[in-house]
């Protein structure tokens, strides 16, 4: 079993994040926490460490069932990209965001993340 698969799901009032398989985490619901970094930063740090330990070259982040993510939550994604960039090149990986093509905020927000970190962000869209 991979380190990623050993991680527990994160379940809060309106959001659930769980490991789907050895290289995918999935989000369901909406993230509107006032200070999301208190919850998501430690969780994403654990996911990051697991991805590095597992030697992943790509980690799929499935947003297809994520309805909303506030701007404070997006900042935590930027921090995650900083962690990846700080790793030795051989341990860096790509965050592959799977998005819902009908959810406009995902396309807009993630394209900005991709601009900030072209080597570490990939985006693919699925039709609802």
pLDDT in tens, 77-107: 999 999 999 999 999 999 999 999 999 999 9
Cα gap 46→117, rounded to integer Å:
21
125 token code pair: 């869209």
pTM: 0.95
pLDDT beyond 90 at 127: no
pLDDT beyond 70 at 128: no
Which residue is listed with tokens 């900083």? 82
């Amino acid at each position: 079993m991979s380190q990623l698969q050993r991680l527990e799901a994160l379940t809060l009032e309106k959001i659930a994040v769980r490991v789907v398989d050895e290289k995918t985490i999935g989000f369901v619901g909406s993230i509107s926490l006032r200070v999301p970094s208190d919850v998501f930063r430690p969780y994403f740090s654990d996911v990051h460490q697991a991805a590095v330990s597992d030697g992943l070259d790509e980690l799929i982040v499935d947003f297809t069932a994520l309805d909303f993510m506030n701007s404070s939550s997006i900042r935590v994604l930027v921090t995650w990209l900083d962690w990846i960039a700080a790793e030795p090149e051989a341990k860096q990986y790509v965050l592959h965001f799977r998005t819902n093509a009908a959810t406009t905020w995902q396309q807009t927000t993630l394209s900005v993340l991709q601009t900030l970190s072209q080597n570490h962000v990939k985006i693919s869209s699925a039709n609802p």
